[in-house]
Chain A
Amino acid sequence: MATHNVESEVTGSVWKVQVEVGDSVSEGDVILILESMKMEIPVESPADGTVAELRVQPEEAVQEDQVVAVIES
């Protein structure tokens, strides 16, 4: 089994979380949406698999390169 870290490309805050732990996702599916520089920035799954961990909640601040979720495949 491989694990894939889902990293945020930007600093911002979590606006909406689109998945739950255990959901199966495809590469490119939106895991969560951040708000940064007044835009809604989707954070997408890097691989097909299952959501193993969600490390952030709505309104939480996120830093550039922070791991926000983990996908197992």
Chain B
Amino acid sequence: MSWAKEVEELKRRRELAKQQGGPEGIAKQHGYGRMTIRERINTLLDEGSFQEQGKATAVPDYDDDDNFLGFVPANYVLGFGRIDDRRVVVGGEDFTLKGGSPNAAGLRKSIYAEHLAIQYKIPLVRMLEGGGGSVKSSGKRGGSSGGDSVFSEPRFKVIADAMGQVPVVSMAGGAVAGFPAGRMAASHFSVMSADTAQILVAGPKVVERALGVDMTKDELGGAHIHAKSGVVDNVAANETEALMQCRRFLSYLPSSVYQRTPRYPCDDSSERMEKDLLDVIPRDSRSVFNMRTVIEMVVDLDSFFEMGKDFGRSQIVGLARIDGQPVGILANNNRVYAGAMTAEAAQKYRRFVELCDTFHIPVVNFIDQPGFMIGPEAEKKGTIRYGMAAVAAAAQATIPWCAIQVHKGFGVATAAHYAPNAYVLAWPSVESGALPLEGGVAVAFHREIEAAEDPVAKRTEIEERLRAARSPFPRAESFGVHELIDPRESRPTLCQWIDWIQPQLDELKGSVKFSMRP
């Protein structure tokens, strides 16, 4: 007797798993304008690279009279694949089956995805859709008998652990609620598709029951909400673009904290000097300039990948390359609150510094910092606490760090822009101190101003006098900065620095004391 019968059954079950929720389930998914999980996986990965794990995972299905109906495939698809020829783990809920709500086999696979990434030391990409647990399953056959044992490891520990060891990326293709929404937030990079996805702690029915508020899932957790809430880093126009953003994010990251960031050959000359950098910073400090253009003129052409543009908008963060080396970019956006550090900007800043530190990505920081955000709203939001968390993250960062003093650098918030042993450059347009001139004069010279016949004129006169005396040269003379540079020299100077830090990057591999948390 051979095992032909079992092998035949195995084949049948593998085929069954590929059929997902059947033609009807798939048609329904397409009817909503959404891809199935297998289509998402194929769009994300290098062609033909998917190697599925747990192909025959399924649960037996019974009707109400306990008649055996057959097997239902696990509603979570998991496996290895390649992105730009580097191995990754991919997984996601199969929404064509029971609305993505986990069956027992599906839940096991979804939890195992994190273990797999940690064990093989490769990135994890989650393609999320679904609502987590259902009260229905707790009363049914094979349902909960009181939960996990008291001594079992917390289910979420592996999610937190993964963030300290391998890149974790999440993409929302449809409505994501409950546990999957938690996974979405627990990522180094997350992106939702604007036309198909929502992210919700709880959906409309639960919200209506608890709060009496009648809202659609899009009103509650659509892209317009979460681009600004900071729950997702980026919003993409559609699912394909969202998946392409996942690929792009990973191109800047090492496969794990134990590897070096991938460095690619670079066509952009390290000697390129953009002439527009000479007059990009206005001499009048009331006028704005476009910091994003500054970044683009300095980093490798088309290499800047911004994250979280609409959350904490006074701070710009993103990944880029300089001479082919991935770097983290931090820059103040003076068009929003003069680039001040708001509570939101500070949270964005801290997370990004922790991301770079965890994966040993060097940081280049374009500083135009007027200080922590001030005023009644800023005080109510607890700006100083989030701000100090950002300062602490930078103060304990272990990565190579280049600080370019582009324009302003005032107050305690400025401390967030320097890690230990930073390489410090300054442009001639730099101004710095405890307080900006305007506010500072009003405080320091208040007696003189109040005693004057025309206080406003007196204040302006003092401001003008001090402004005229301002010069960038003393900080270079006293070795307060490493170099005072022509702004056009920024790229060549940074490319040189990238060369200097290569031995340090070799040494930094491994896990850090404070890795990134959600």
Contacts and interface: CB of A to CB of B under 8 A. Distances in A.
Interface in B432-448: 436, 438-439
B334 A39 contact: yes
Chain A residues touching B, range: 10 to 19
B337 A38 contact: no
Interface in B302-350: 313, 334-338, 340
B336 A38 contact: no
A41 B335 contact: yes
Task: Count chain A CB atoms within 10 A of each CB in B286, B334, B340, B436 and give the residue with the most.
Answer: B286
A40 interface: yes
B338 A39 contact: yes
Interface in B356-388: 370, 375, 377
Nearest to A43: B335
Contacts of A20: none
A10 interface: yes
B67 interface: no
Contact of A38 (B313, B335, B377, B438): B438
A38 B460 CA distance: 14
B288 A9 contact: no
Interface residues of B, number: 17
Contact of B286 (A9, A10, A11, A40): A40
Interface string A1-45: 000000001110000000000000000000000001111111000
Pick the most buried of A10, A36, A37, A40: most chain B CB atoms within 10 A of its CB.
Answer: A37
B287 interface: yes
Given A9-B313, A11-B377, A39 B288 contact: yes
Contacts of A9: 313, 335-336
Contacts of A40: 286-288
Contacts of B287: 39-40
Interface of A: 9-11, 36-42
7 contacts: A37-B340, A37-B370, A38-B338, A39-B334, A39-B338, A41-B288, A41-B336
Interface of B: 285-288, 313, 334-338, 340, 370, 375, 377, 436, 438-439
